[in-house]
Amino acid sequence: MELKSSKMGAGNFGGNESGSDASAPLHVLPPLPYDYAALEPVIDARTMTLHHDKHHATYVDKLNAALEPYAELRRRSVPWLLMNSDAVPEPIRAAVRNNGGGHLNHSLFWRLMTPTQGGAPTGVLADAVKKAFGSLEEFRTRFDDAGAKLFGSGWVWLVIGREQGSEKPGLEIVTTTGHDNPIQQGKYPLLLNDVWEHAYYLKYENRRPDYLKSWWDIVNWKEVASRFETPEASTELEPADGYLPATRK
């Protein structure tokens, strides 16, 4: 499978295309699109600082370290690595899955939150949510329930998968453990929430359901709608190669 490497620049998920410095880190920690305190009071600045500068940064560092001896794999994007785990040598397979997934998921997560949006989905996304879940309120309830029930560390997602009881594309709520991403199941992520304790414990302690409920105030619905309407523009998932996001049609 060949990457459309020319499209893989945006989002820091692609390979080092300059090729000028073989020792340069290939994967780069993206900056937060807002200040550390911007999501308060829902997520406190201390949590954001640790989460981005320590947790996410460590995933990027460990991913680069794992890939360092493998010249061919260093050209590959994170989604490609996650979707082609058979091509990743066994000694680094777990490290690439965990840290590559951690890098991809957090990069999406930062962009799907905003200090200014909140509110509700509009347009065709609103219609799709209503069709799949009955109402926005029901969707949120089911999403929160899935996140609250997920045992241990993981993520809760809204994805383009399959309509319930059919082969047609439709919206689904799924959960993943660790840092797995729904692209590994052929599903296209639209929205995600991090339910690892490091995402909420300083402020919410053991009250994960309170965190899940509060979080809706900072969801970037504009970005969710953009992903839904033009998934092909989300370059970090480009190498899906016929796998996704064609499921929308």
Query: Which residues are near Mn ion by CB under 5 A?
Result: 194, 196, 199
* Cα separations in angstroms, 19 against 25, 38, 47, 65, 207: 11, 37, 36, 18, 47
How near is the Cβ of 201 to Mn ion at its closest, in Å?
11
* Residue among 196 and 215 whose Cβ is closer to Mn ion: 196
How near is the Cβ of 47 to Mn ion at its closest, in Å?
10
* Residue among 59 and 139 whose Cβ is closer to Mn ion: 59
Strand pairing partners for 171?
Answer: 160
How near is the Cβ of 60 to Mn ion at its closest, in Å?
13
Q: What is the DSSP string of 60-91?
A: HHHHHHHHTT-TTGGGS-HHHHHHTGGGS-HH
* Residue among 110 and 196 whose Cβ is closer to Mn ion: 196
Give strand ranges (E) for the chain. 154-162, 169-177, 188-194
* Residue among 5 and 153 whose Cβ is closer to Mn ion: 153
* Residue among 43 and 128 whose Cβ is closer to Mn ion: 43
Nearby residues of 31 by Cβ (< 8 Å), 6 or more positions away: none
Which sign does the torsion angle of CA 149, 183, 83, 77 carry?
negative
Contact of 223 with 112, CB cutoff 8 Å? yes
How near is the Cβ of 12 to Mn ion at its closest, in Å?
17
Task: Select the residue whose beta carbon is closest to Mn ion and give its number.
Answer: 194
Amino acid 74 reads R
* Residue among 4 and 198 whose Cβ is closer to Mn ion: 198
- The number of residues in the chain equals 249
How near is the Cβ of 125 to Mn ion at its closest, in Å?
25
Q: Is 200 helix (H, G, I), strand (E, B) or coil?
A: coil
How near is the Cβ of 100 to Mn ion at its closest, in Å?
14
